[in-house]
Amino acid sequence: MNDVAQRWSALQERVTRACAVVGRSPTEVAILAAVKTQPPERIVAVLEAGAHLLGHNRAQEMAELEPRLHESWPGTWETHFIGALQTNKVNQVLRYASCIQSVDRSALAERLSAAAGRLGRTVEVFVEVNASGEETKSGVQPEQALEFAVAVAGMEGLRLRGLMTIGKNSPDAGEVRAGFEEMARLSAALVSSGMPGTADAGELSMGMSTDLDIAVAAGSTMVRVGTALFGPRTR
């Protein structure tokens, strides 16, 4: 087994353990491989190991990688965009991604909705929330998250899957947990809001290599993992 395949099984075991602690089934938690800066052969290795969700951070990198991956791997996977997205990159990104996890402002949501109409397809989205309150992080503020998510859920051509966040960068597990728990409360409020397009928007994309166990305990349904799968990024 190559190192990526080994890390993939170790990661699955880790998610299973994190689920067991809180009595959840590991089938409730999807693993998205965050592939930024990885060469195609390492990404193919993770697909061969069983991954079926890839997340890209940069439009350019995604446009270079995705065709090469399709050349070297006959299987299928679902491509998500998880990085900061400029409105002028929307069309490029939608050539490859079925889901945009980083919807953090109206202008972007409107562009995506218009593009979906033009392309005659539905674009899946997550609303990104800045639950940690760190200034360097993107995402809508938690106080605005419900209103914004409801607006996005009602937009033509978009299907809101849920909420996404990047955990607080803190050595204090309690602080990290508090952010994830706030996300879980927002998610519950969204799903029970009764507003159009929200009833099925219960997914929670949260948890990365360092904090996924805490995120799973708080209700994450999708962890986005780079380092724990591929090793430290060199670039």
**By rule CB under 6 A, what string of x and - marks binding of each residue 103-142 to ligand PLP?**
----------------------------------------
* Residue in 12, 92, 170, 209 binding ligand PLP, rule: CB under 6 A: 209
Q: Which is nearer to ligand PLP, 108 or 225 (CB)?
A: 225
Strand partners, 55: 34, 80
Contact status: 162 vs ligand PLP (CB under 6 A) = no
Residue 185 CB partners (closer than 8 Å, separation 6+): none
Q: What is the DSSP string of 162-231?
A: EEE------S-HHHHHHHHHHHHHHHHHHHTS--TT-TT--EEE---TTTHHHHHHHT-SEEEESHHHH-
Contact status: 225 vs ligand PLP (CB under 6 A) = yes
Nearest Cα neighbor of 189 from 171, 180, 201, 206 is 201
- The first and second tokens of residue 70, run together, are 């399709």
Candidates 8-16, 113-121, 152-160, 203-211; binding stretch for ligand PLP (CB under 6 A): 203-211
* Residue number, nearest CB to ligand PLP: 226
- The first and second tokens of residue 218, run together, are 């708080």
DSSP 3-state of 133: coil
Q: Which is nearer to ligand PLP, 16 or 209 (CB)?
A: 209
Candidates 10-18, 72-80, 147-155, 221-229; binding stretch for ligand PLP (CB under 6 A): 221-229
> Can you give the binding site for ligand PLP, defined by CB under 6 A?
34, 36, 57, 82-83, 166, 208-210, 224-228
